[in-house]
Amino acid sequence: MKITFADKAPKTNLLVSGVYEDGNFGDVTKALDKTAQGAIKASIDNAEFKGKAEKVLRLPSVSGIDGQLVLVGLGDAKKYSPLILEKIGAKLFAALNALREKKAVIDLSDLPALKHHDTAELIAYIASGSLLRSWRFDKYRTKREKDEIPVLAELVFVTPSAKETQKAFETLAAIAEGNHLTRLVVSEPPNVIYPESMTAHAKELTEHGVKVEVLGEKEMEKLGFGALLGVGQGSIRESQLVVMQWNGGPENQKPIAVVGKGVTFDTGGISIKPSNGMEDMKYDMAGSGVVLGLLKSLALRKAKVNVVGVMGLAENMPSGSAQRPSDIVTSLSGQTIEVLNTDAEGRLVLADALWYTQDKFKPQYMINLATLTGAITVALGYEYAGLFSNNDKLSEMLTKAGEQVGELLWSMPMSKVYDKDINSDAADVKNIGSGRGAGSITAAKFLERFVNKTPWAHLDIAGMAWDKAERPLSGKGATGYGVRLLNAFLKDNFEKH
Ligand code: BES
Ligand code: MN
Ligand code: ZN
CATH code (residue 106): 3.40.220.10
* 152/206 same-domain check: no
Q: What is the DSSP letter of 329?
A: E
- Ligand 1, pocket-test mutation among 265, 373, 422, most atoms within 8 A of CB: 373
Q: What is the CA(266)–ligand 3 centre distance, in A? A: 5
Residues linked to residue 310 through DSSP beta bridges, in sequence order: 243, 259
Query: Ligand 2 (ion): which residues have CB within 5 A?
Result: 266, 343, 345
Residues within 6 Å of ligand 1 by CB: 266, 280, 284, 341, 343-346, 371, 373-375, 432, 439, 462
From the CA of 268, the nearest ligand is 2
Which distant-in-sequence residues (6+ apart) come within 8 Å of 203 by Cβ? 212, 214
- Tens place of pLDDT per residue across the chain (497 aa): 999 999 999 999 999 998 888 877 777 777 788 888 888 888 888 767 777 877 788 888 888 888 899 988 888 888 889 999 999 999 999 989 988 889 999 998 888 888 888 899 999 999 999 999 999 999 999 999 888 888 999 999 999 999 999 999 999 999 999 999 999 999 999 999 999 999 999 999 999 999 999 999 999 999 999 999 999 999 999 999 999 999 999 999 999 999 999 999 999 999 999 999 999 999 999 999 999 999 999 999 999 999 999 999 999 999 999 999 999 999 999 999 999 999 999 999 999 999 999 999 999 999 999 999 999 999 999 999 999 999 999 999 999 999 999 999 999 999 999 999 999 999 999 999 999 999 999 999 999 999 999 999 999 999 999 999 999 999 999 999 999 999 999 999 999 87
Last residue of a domain, one of 160, 186, 216: 160
Do both 283 and 379 map to the same domain? yes
**Residue type for position 142:** T
**What pLDDT score was predicted for residue 110?**
85
Contacts of 421 (CB under 8 A, 6+ apart): 433, 434, 436, 438, 442, 445
Q: Please indicate, yes or no, whether residues 154 and 205 belong to a single structural domain of this protein.
A: no
Is 187 domain-assigned? Answer: yes
Strand positions, DSSP E, 122-178 = 154-158
Asked if 88 and 193 sit in the same domain, the reply is: no
What pLDDT does 430 receive?
98
CA 344 to ligand 1 center in whole angstroms: 6
Residue at 202 is within a domain: yes
Final residue in a domain of this structure, among 98, 127, 160 = 160
Reduced to 3 states, what is the DSSP secondary structure of residue 139?
Answer: coil
Atom 17 (ligand 1) nearest CA? 344
Tell me the CATH number at 224: 3.40.630.10
Regarding whether 298 and 196 lie in a shared domain, the answer is yes
Residue nearest to atom 5 of ligand 1 (CA): 374
Rounded to 10 degrees, the C-alpha dihedral 281/282/284/287 comes to -160
Q: What pLDDT was estimated at residue 25? A: 79
Nearest atom in ligand 1 to 375's CA: 21
Residue type, 163: K
Q: Specify the residue with its C-alpha closest to ligand 1, atom 13.
A: 343
pLDDT at 66: 85
Closest C-alpha to ligand 1, atom 9: 462
Query: Quick one: pLDDT at residue 113?
Result: 82
Reported in sequence order, the residue ranges of 326-441 that DSSP labels E, i.e. its strands, are: 327-330, 336-339, 365-370, 384-389, 408-411, 429-430
Does residue 420 lie within any of the structural domains? yes
| Structure confidence by residue, pLDDT tens digits, 245-273 | 999 999 999 999 999 999 999 999 999 99
Instruction: Confirm if 305 and 298 have CB atoms less than 8 A apart.
Output: yes
Does one domain contain both 6 and 139?
Answer: yes
Shared domain check, 55 and 136: yes
Question: What is the whole-number distance in angstroms between the Cα of residue 231 and the centre of ligand 2?
Answer: 10
- Asked, for residue 166, whether it belongs to a domain, the answer is no
Ligand 1 closest atom vs CA 284: 1
Cα of 349 from ligand 3 centre, angstroms: 10
State the total domains in the chain: 2
Say whether both 136 and 235 belong to one domain: no
Reading phi first (left if > 0) and then psi (alpha if -120 to 50, else beta), residue 306 is in beta
Q: How is the chain split among helix, strand and coil, in percent rounded to 5?
A: 40, 20, 40
Angstrom CA distances, 443 to 73, 125, 345, 419, stand at 44, 37, 10, 10
In angstroms, how far is the first alpha carbon of the chain from the final one?
34
CA 74 to each of CA 24, 60, 216, 315: distance values in angstroms, whole numbers, following the listed order: 10, 20, 52, 46
| 16 CA → ligand 1 middle, Å | 45
Which residue from 372, 380, 461, 464 has its CB within 8 A of the most atoms of ligand 1, so it is best to mutate?
372
| Enzyme catalytic residues | 273, 347
Atom of ligand 1 nearest to the CA of 443: 19
Ligand 1 mean position to 496 CA, how many Å?
Answer: 38
Ligand with the closest atom to the CA of 278: 1
362 and 454 share one domain:
yes
Describe the strand order of the beta sheet including 2-6 as a list of residue ranges.
2-6, 154-158, 103-107, 14-20, 68-75, 56-59
| Closest ligand 1 atom, residue 431 Cα | 19
| Residue 165 within any structural domain of the chain | no
Q: What pLDDT score does 412 carry?
A: 98
pLDDT of residue 264: 99
On whether residue 404 sits in a domain, the answer given is yes
CA of 482 to the centre of ligand 3 (A): 18
- Phi and psi dihedrals of 168, rounded to 5? -65, -35
Instruction: Please report whether residue 167 resides in a domain.
Output: no
Report how far residue 73's alpha carbon sits from residue 135's, in angstroms, rounded to the nearest whole number. 23
Same domain for 181 and 139? no
Atom of ligand 1 nearest to the CA of 432: 19
* Residue 192 and residue 117 share a domain: no
For residue 170, being part of any structural domain is answered with no
pLDDT for the residue numbered 47: 62
Of 132, 160, 188, which closes a domain?
Answer: 160
What is the reported pLDDT for 254? Answer: 98
Pocket test for ligand 1, best of 261, 284, 288, 479 (most atoms within 8 A of CB): 284
Q: How far is CA 328 from the centre of its chain?
A: 35
Domain that holds residue 80: 2-160
The reply to whether 259 and 388 lie within a common domain is yes
463 CA to centre of ligand 3 in angstroms: 12
Residue 239: DSSP 8-state: P
Alpha carbon nearest to ligand 1 atom 16, residue: 344
Ligand 1 nearest-atom number relative to CA 433 = 19
Radius of gyration, CA atoms only, the chain:
25
- Which atom of ligand 1 is the closest one to the Cα of 263? 1
